[in-house]
Structure 1
Amino acid sequence: MRALIVAACTSLLAGVAQADGASVHAAGSLKSVFTQLGKMYVEQGGAAPRFEFGPSGVLREKIAAGAKADVFASANMTHPQTFVDAGKAAKVERFARNELCLLVRPGLTVTPESALDAMLARDLKLGVSTPKADPAGDYAVQMFQRADALRPGIGRALAARGRQLTGAADSAKPPAGRNVYAWVVDDGQADLFVTYCTNTRLARREVPALQEVALPPDLAVGADYGLVVLSAPGSEGERFARFLQSDPARKVLAADGFSLP
């Protein structure tokens, strides 16, 4: 009987601890680094955050529809700003930056100088994320517009060629345990995929033969990551958001390949 009581109390306490942790909705590109930061936060005495990762646009829609979220970390500044405009958050904090790169299949020779020609090559499949649902797709569109300034007319061609393979609520899901970008390119769905440089590095950890190719300066597009607190002042959400902007957290972000504002 005593063992049953102890087990029940332990279960109850675990449930309380989980309930106390902030509900954090965060861009999918933050999954690896936020998982690390969540563990660090707990080691420093904080309550374990409850994460939901996904395309920032999809998460914004879920929160707007009533999903519980104490913190929203987006891969752009626009989505979190909507909650400020609606009076549900005080301000958006820019807490990290990223860049676009190309993830390239093994055996294909692509350099920054030849990246544009490779994306235009008819015998190669170009993959992108879904605009509006995922900021990475919006940044790809910006990059195509920059290409159009270099060679008028090709921006539309690039947008038409880009296969929207990830980032939407109904995008195909990779097998369990697989990195979505490694899977998309390794599976042959794309020969080149436009995504964040941090994503290309994570994909290459899984499939080292994949290649990361930087975009040339004329095509380079940066991504600002915005953070809003949607819970009350003094809440666990606010505490976790402050932790994300602390020096120890910034060091982890930098080590994971993010640049800092």
Structure 2
Amino acid sequence: MKVLAAGSLRTVWTSLMAPFPEPVEAEFGPAGLLRERIEAGEFCDLFASANLAHPRALLAAGRALAVFPFASNQLCLTVRREVWRKGDDWFSLLTRETLRIATSTPGADPSGDYAQELFTRMGAAGESVRRRAQALVGGRDSAPIPPGRLAAEWILHSGKAEVFIGYASYGETLRQMEGLKVITIPPPYNPLANYACAVITPQAQPLADFLLSVEAQKIVQQAGFLPSPCGRGALFSPSPRGRGPG
């Protein structure tokens, strides 16, 4: 079985697939770019995205049989520890104009889209942050992240930025890395990333069912993800006028 999956699922995927009885070949990348590959005709049995929009677009185009939300995530800031000052919070760090801010690439990578939503939720202050932020990873022409490195750690330790906006599921790992500090972004500013899988072929249905199981949900949440706000087992099916997968 072949799966195309959001890059943010890479760190949990091996442990997640360990209890699943069938062999699964997974390839990871920015969900927007993976969706484009499927639309261009690349074969996969299941597509796991870091947002609902890309799987639902495949469903609407008749390229998926069903869409199941299965987890969620949030954003956090990772900063180089030497730039953090006593009393700093997420807002003061983002609005400090001397700090360079890095994000993933909007459109290609949902993490970049959620960062843009964060800026919108910040109001007028966020527009200035939006103009300063640089999309350094997750794009069609972005420099590849070295194997075994996390985007935030690589960007910050290589001196490309002082602040990185990324997924909170990486937070516990990043907190253990020398020279880095992870800062929480509170609601209502923090967007919720709703992960979903698109069932492309009937052979993928057992894997979709497994992702919704109690066992799989426990593994995903132990890795720093949150439950899906849609509820376990929520389903989006094609309209009666939709055609089969193409």
Structure 2 residue 71 is matched with structure 1 residue 96: yes
Structure 2 residue 211 is matched with structure 1 residue 244: yes
- Give the deviation of 1:190 after TM superposition: 1.4
- Residue matched to 1:184: 155
Question: 2 CA distance for matches of 1:63 and 1:146?
Answer: 32
Question: Number of residue pairs matched?
Answer: 228
Which amino acid is the alignment partner of residue 165 of structure 1? L
Question: 1 CA distance for matches of 2:27 and 2:99?
Answer: 34
Q: Secondary structure at the match of 2:66?
A: coil
Which amino acid is the alignment partner of residue 187 of structure 1? S
Q: Deviations over 1:32-73 (max 9, x none)?
A: 1112112221xxxx2211101011001000111111110011
- Contact 2:3–2:24 under 8 Å retained in 1: yes
Structure 2 residue 166 is matched with structure 1 residue 166: no
Structure 2 residue 13 is matched with structure 1 residue 38: no
Which amino acid is the alignment partner of residue 115 of structure 2? A
Q: Deviations over 1:212-237 (max 9, x none)?
A: 110133421111001111002xx1x2
Which amino acid is the alignment partner of residue 33 of structure 1? V
- Contact 1:80–1:92 under 8 Å retained in 2: yes
Q: 1:39 to 1:214 in 2, by over 3 A?
A: same
- Give the deviation of 1:185 after TM superposition: 1.0
TM-score, normalised with respect to structure 2: 0.87
TM-score, normalised with respect to structure 1: 0.82
Task: Please tell me whether Structure 1 or Structure 2 has the larger radius of gyration of its CA atoms.
Answer: 1
Q: Deviations over 1:124-179 (max 9, x none)?
A: 1111110000111110111000101xxx3x23211111110111122112333322
- Give the deviation of 1:112 after TM superposition: 8.9
Q: Secondary structure at the match of 1:36?
A: helix
Q: Secondary structure at the match of 1:103?
A: strand
Q: Secondary structure at the match of 2:83?
A: coil
Coordinate RMSD, CA, aligned: 1.7
Question: 2 CA distance for matches of 1:160 and 1:116?
Answer: 15
Question: 2 CA distance for matches of 1:239 and 1:125?
Answer: 44
- Residue matched to 2:101: 126
Aligned-pair identity in percent equals 36
Q: Secondary structure at the match of 2:161?
A: coil
- Contact 2:79–2:180 under 8 Å retained in 1: yes
Structure 2 residue 226 is matched with structure 1 residue 259: yes
Which amino acid is the alignment partner of residue 216 of structure 1? P
- Give the deviation of 1:121 after TM superposition: 1.4
Q: 1:94 to 1:176 in 2, by over 3 A?
A: closer
Question: 1 CA distance for matches of 2:139 and 2:175?
Answer: 23
Q: Secondary structure at the match of 1:227?
A: strand
- Contact 2:170–2:224 under 8 Å retained in 1: no
Structure 2 residue 116 is matched with structure 1 residue 146: no
- Residue matched to 2:43: 68
- Residue matched to 1:221: 191
- Give the deviation of 1:111 after TM superposition: 7.9
- Contact 2:50–2:195 under 8 Å retained in 1: yes
Contiguous gaps of at least 5 residues in structure 1: 1-21
Kindly indicate whether structure 1 or structure 2 has the higher relative contact order, using CA contacts under 8 Å at least 6 residues apart: 2
- Residue matched to 1:201: 172
